[in-house]
Amino acid sequence: MSSEIQIPGSSQSLVSAGVLLSNERVKRGISIQEAADYLKLSRKQVEALENDDYSSLPGTTFVRGFMRNYAKFLELDLEPIMAWLDSQVPNTAPDARPAPAATPQGKTASVDTHKEKEITPTTAAATNTDTGSGIWKWLLPLLLVGAGLVWYQSQPSDTTEPSAEAAAPAETVAKAPAAATPPAAEAVETPATPAPVPEASSTTPSATAAPVTPPPVATATVTPAATPTTPAVTDPTTTATAPLPTNGNHQLRLVMKQDSWMEILDSKGERVVFGTQKAGKERIVEGTPPFKMTIGNATEVELFHNNQAIDLKKHIKKGTTAKLELK
Amino acid sequence: MFRSITGYFSHDLAIDLGTANTLIYVNGKGIVLNEPSVVSIQHEASSNKKSILAVGLEAKKMLGRTPGSISAIRPMKDGVIADFTVTEQMLKQFIKKVSPSRFFASSPRIVICVPCGSTQVERRAIRESALGAGARRVELIEEPMAAAIGAGLPVEEATGSMVVDIGGGTTEVGVISLGGIVYSNSVRVGGDKFDESIINYIRRNYGMLIGETTAEEIKKTIGSAFPAPEVKEMEVKGRNLAEGIPRAFTISSNEILEALTEPLNQIVSAVKIALEQTPPELGADIADKGMVLTGGGALLRDIDRLLAEETGLPVFVAEDPLTCVVRGSGKALEKMDKAVGTIFTND
Helix (H) or strand (E) holding B239, with range, is strand B233-240
Cβ separation A98–B289 shorter than 8 A: no
Task: Quote the CA–CA distance of A212 and A199 in Å, as a whole number.
Answer: 7
* Tens-place pLDDT, residues A104-143: 333 333 333 333 333 333 333 333 333 444 555 667 778 8
CA torsion, ordered B3, B4, B10, B14, to nearest 10 deg: 80
> Which positions in chain A touch B311 (Cβ < 8 Å)?
40
Burial class (CB in 10 A: 0-12, 13-18, 19+), B299: buried
pLDDT value at residue A112: 36
Mutate to test the interface with A, among B32, B101, B163 (most CBs of A within 10 A): B32
Cβ separation B316–A69 shorter than 8 A: yes
Task: Quote the CA–CA distance of A274 and A228 in Å, as a whole number.
Answer: 21
pLDDT of residue A12 exceeding 60: no
Sign of the alpha-carbon dihedral angle for A246, A249, A254, A259: negative
- As beta bridge partners, residue B171 has B166, B187
User: Which residue in A has a C-alpha nearest to residue B325's C-alpha?
Assistant: A94
Cβ separation A99–B35 shorter than 8 A: no
Q: Cβ(B173)–Cβ(B26) under 8 Å?
A: no
For residue A105, give the nearest of B150, B290, B299 by CB distance. B299
pLDDT value at residue A200: 44
pLDDT of residue A213 exceeding 70: no
Cβ separation B289–A123 shorter than 8 A: no
> Which positions in chain A touch B151 (Cβ < 8 Å)?
61, 93
Cβ separation A105–B322 shorter than 8 A: yes
Cβ separation B9–A104 shorter than 8 A: no
Amino acid at A252: L
pLDDT tier for residue A261 given thresholds of 50, 70 and 90: confident
pLDDT of residue A217 exceeding 50: no
Proportion of chain A in helix, strand, coil states, percent, rounded to 5: 40, 15, 45
Task: Quote the CA–CA distance of A184 and A207 in Å, as a whole number.
Answer: 9
Cβ separation A40–B314 shorter than 8 A: yes
For residue A40, give the nearest of B312, B317, B318 by CB distance. B312
pLDDT of residue A20 exceeding 70: yes
A324: CB partners within 8 A, 6+ apart: A293, A295, A310, A312, A315
Cβ separation A91–B314 shorter than 8 A: no
> Which positions in chain B touch A94 (Cβ < 8 Å)?
149-150, 152, 327-328, 330-331
* Tens-place pLDDT, residues B199-217: 999 999 999 999 988 999 9
> Which positions in chain A touch B320 (Cβ < 8 Å)?
93, 96, 102-103, 108-109, 112
Mapped onto helix, strand or coil, the DSSP state of residue B236 is strand
pLDDT tier for residue A173 given thresholds of 50, 70 and 90: very low
DSSP string, B150-197: HHT--TTSSS-EEEEEE-SS-EEEEEEETTEEEEEEEES-SHHHHHHH
* Mean pLDDT of all residues in A33-39: 92
For residue B152, give the nearest of A68, A91, A112 by CB distance. A91
Cβ separation A91–B288 shorter than 8 A: no
Q: What is the mean pLDDT of chain A?
A: 66
Nearest CA distance, A93 vs chain B (angstrom): 4
Q: Cβ(B85)–Cβ(B73) under 8 Å?
A: no
For residue B327, give the nearest of A65, A66, A93 by CB distance. A93
Q: Residues in chain B with pLDDT < 50?
A: 1
Best CA proximity match to A207, nearest among A230, A189, A225: A230
Task: Quote the CA–CA distance of A234 and A283 in Å, as a whole number.
Answer: 8
Cβ separation B320–A66 shorter than 8 A: no
pLDDT of residue A254 exceeding 90: no
Cβ separation A94–B152 shorter than 8 A: yes
Best CA proximity match to B277, nearest among B188, B183, B187: B183
Phi, psi for residue A292 in degrees, rounded to 5 = -105, 125
For residue A96, give the nearest of B152, B220, B327 by CB distance. B327
Kind of pairing between the strands at B315-317 and B291-294: parallel
Nearest CA distance, B218 vs chain A (angstrom): 15
Burial class (CB in 10 A: 0-12, 13-18, 19+), B69: exposed
Task: Quote the CA–CA distance of A65 and A116 in Å, as a whole number.
Answer: 21
Task: Quote the CA–CA distance of B159 and B153 in Å, as a whole number.
Answer: 10
Best CA proximity match to B27, nearest among B332, B340, B330: B330
Task: Quote the CA–CA distance of B194 and B168 in Å, as a whole number.
Answer: 9
Question: In whole angstroms, how large is the CA radius of gyration of chain A?
Answer: 44
Best CA proximity match to B225, nearest among B256, B197, B190, B246: B256
pLDDT of residue A219 exceeding 80: no
* Mean pLDDT of all residues in A9-20: 66
Question: What's the predicted TM-score (pTM) here?
Answer: 0.62
Q: Cβ(A270)–Cβ(A218) under 8 Å?
A: no
Task: Quote the CA–CA distance of A154 and B104 in Å, as a whole number.
Answer: 30
More confident residue, A224 or A281: A281
Cβ separation A94–B150 shorter than 8 A: yes
> Which positions in chain B touch A141 (Cβ < 8 Å)?
none
Spell out the alpha helix ranges (H) of chain A. Answer: 17-27, 32-39, 43-50, 60-73, 78-88, 110-154, 162-167, 169-178
Cβ-Cβ contacts under 8 Å between A and B: the total is 124
Task: Quote the CA–CA distance of B123 and B117 in Å, as a whole number.
Answer: 10
Secondary structure (H, E, C), A133-169:
HHHHHHHHHHHHHHHHHHHHHHCCCCCCCHHHHHHCH
For residue B319, give the nearest of A66, A109, A135 by CB distance. A109
Cβ separation A66–B288 shorter than 8 A: no
Cβ separation A66–B151 shorter than 8 A: no
> Which positions in chain A touch B26 (Cβ < 8 Å)?
none
Task: Quote the CA–CA distance of B193 and A92 in Å, as a whole number.
Answer: 32
pLDDT tier for residue A60 given thresholds of 50, 70 and 90: confident
> Which positions in chain A touch B35 (Cβ < 8 Å)?
101
> Which positions in chain A touch B103 (Cβ < 8 Å)?
134-135, 138
Phi-psi region of B211 (alpha: psi -120 to 50; beta: other; left: phi over 0): beta
> Which positions in chain B touch A104 (Cβ < 8 Å)?
34, 322
> Which positions in chain B touch A125 (Cβ < 8 Å)?
none
> Which positions in chain A touch B308 (Cβ < 8 Å)?
39-40
pLDDT value at residue B153: 92
> Peptide bond before A205: cis, by omega within 30 degrees of 0?
no
Cβ separation B314–A66 shorter than 8 A: yes
Nearest CA distance, A238 vs chain B (angstrom): 55
Kind of pairing between the strands at B70-73 and B39-44: antiparallel
